[in-house]
Structure formats: structure tokens, C-alpha cells
Amino acid sequence: MANTFDDGQFKTWKPLAPTLRQRRMASRKDLHKGGPVRELTVAKRRTGGRNNTGKITCRHRGGGAKRRIRLVDFKRHTVGPQEVVRLEYDPGRTAHIALIKHMETGELSYILAPAGLKPGAVELFRPRADLMTDLQSKVNIDVGNCMPLRLIPIGTTIHNIGLHPFGRAQIARSAGASAQLLYTAPTGTAQIKLMSGEVRRVPVDAPATIGSVSNPNHKHEKLGGAGARRRRGWRPTVRGTAMNTSDHPHGGGRGKSKGNKHPRSPWGKLAKGGKTRKHISPMVIRGRPRR
């Protein structure tokens, strides 16, 4: 009798242990079962949250299973049709990745897998002198195709968006993320609306990929137990009131109270009421709505 159940959306476990009762992970039924292409990976050297002097600069980090970082192509400068070989799981990110092969040179590379991507051809378009600004009718607006914003019709769902014409993609890269193109022009800047509600300007020659990012069910996952989190490289988070006086401003004392103290960070700064807003970028037209 199988101890796991996969309905195509989520994978659940038979509760042979208490941690498995609530465990629920996104289905990977359609992904490649083997390992990655070795030449497109590098070893991940963990630091345990320490800097070059050995001091902890990022708390609650350490341990975890061995990993190899997949070298995902976020620039996509190569022009021409590329065939999707397979979809793979990437332990270093929430989205799935796709292995593509250039149909002329045979070069292999990884890209973020859009939702609904199937084995086939993905065309890559980059700004060139022989490309006119009115090629919407000639450009194939299909899921997974990468092209400048000026060639994409208004209202199209996009992801993997760059902030510079020849820079790497920086916006809408996590699982299920996307943005909507609101305005574009032959020159200047385009306007995109992010999932947070923010509307911002982006150069019209910046690249973007058609569609939304794969694995939208990631936000509904439940790890189920502490061990799954430790295998991902996360250590426990301890309350300040459970520490000693030398370890935290809330520590020490008799009983479990922090005493008549205002909430503070582990370094003694006031934890509540401080200013958190940063300077708004001039490229932001409308910030995300506040509750």
C-alpha cells in the first residue's frame, strides 16, 4: 500500500508519524526524476550565517542538506528558437526550471519555467537594429517567449522582467509571480503593474517573458515538522524571554515575563514604533496599497 498520495496538485503522506499528518507539498509528478546537468551547476558553500570574521550576521541559519546551485539564465541574450528538453525541480528557488537546447548550436541552458510550459520551441528576441518597433503582428506572443517590452501587446501577463535593456531579470521571479503590462511605447519607458498593486516604470527595451511563473501552489505548502525546515538550512528561532540576561534584553528574571521593559531587538534597539519606510524610487508611479 502506498504511503504517499499525489492528485496532480499536491502530494500528501499517510500519517505514519505526527509530522506527516499536516505535511503537504506541491506535486512534482511532471518533473524530471533525475539530477541536473552537472555543467550548469556549482557547489553551494554554506556560511552558517557568519561573515568573514566569524560573527553571526544572519540569525537562524545553519546546517541543511548538500545542494548544487543551478545556473539559471536570467539575461537570455541568445537569439533564435530553443527547444524545451524537460522541466526540473530546483531546491534553491520556489519556481521550477526548464532545460532548453538551442536548435542551431545545441547549447544547453536553464530558464525559469513559466506556468503551462510544454516541450517545444521557445523563441528569444532581443533588441537589434533590424527589429522594428511595430513587430507585434510578426512576433509570436506565446508562453515562455522572451522579448523587449516594446514588442509585447498591452495587457499581456509577463514575468522575469529586467530593469535595464541588457541587464538580468529582477522582477516577478518567484513561484506563481507575474505582472501586467499597462503601457508601452517605441521609446522611453513602459508601465507595469506588479502583484502587490505597485505600478512602476521600466525601460521599453528591458526584457520580459510571456506568462506567469510556474508552481503557483507553492504558497499552499506545509512542511509539517521541524526536521523539514532543518534540512532546508534553517535553525530554531528562540524567544528573547527564554534566554539569559547576557543573551537578550528580555532575558533573565524570575518567571517567564520580560519585566517592565519595552520590546527590544537582541541588540538593544526599540523593536516597535521605529521608522521603516525607505525613500520611494522615482520609477514608482503608484505604491502598493496599504491596509
pLDDT per residue as tens digits for the range 107-163: 999 999 999 998 776 777 665 544 544 444 467 888 999 999 999 999 999 999 999
Look at residue 206 and tell me if it is in a domain.
no
pLDDT for res 254: 85
- pLDDT confidence bin for 15, thresholds 50/70/90: very high
Task: Tally the domains of the chain.
Answer: 1
pLDDT for res 138: 65
pLDDT single digits (tens) 217-260: 999 999 999 999 999 999 999 999 999 999 999 999 888 888 88
Look at residue 16 and tell me if it is in a domain.
yes
Look at residue 161 and tell me if it is in a domain.
no
Interatomic CA distance for residues 153 and 131, integer angstroms: 16
Look at residue 32 and tell me if it is in a domain.
yes
Domain region containing 89: 4-47+65-120
Q: How far is CA 144 from CA 22, 30, 80, 179, 183, in A?
A: 34, 17, 13, 14, 21
CATH number at residue 40: 2.40.50.140
pLDDT single digits (tens) 24-74: 999 999 999 999 999 999 999 999 999 999 999 999 999 999 999 999 999
Q: Which region among 170-184, 188-202, 222-236, 250-264 has the lowest average model confidence (pLDDT)?
A: 250-264
Interatomic CA distance for residues 182 and 92, integer angstroms: 32
Angle of CA points 134, 73, 152, to nearest 5°: 20
Look at residue 113 and tell me if it is in a domain.
yes
Look at residue 77 and tell me if it is in a domain.
yes
pTM as predicted? 0.89
Q: Which of 278, 76, 91 is nearest to 161 (CA)?
A: 76
Look at residue 10 and tell me if it is in a domain.
yes
Look at residue 78 and tell me if it is in a domain.
yes
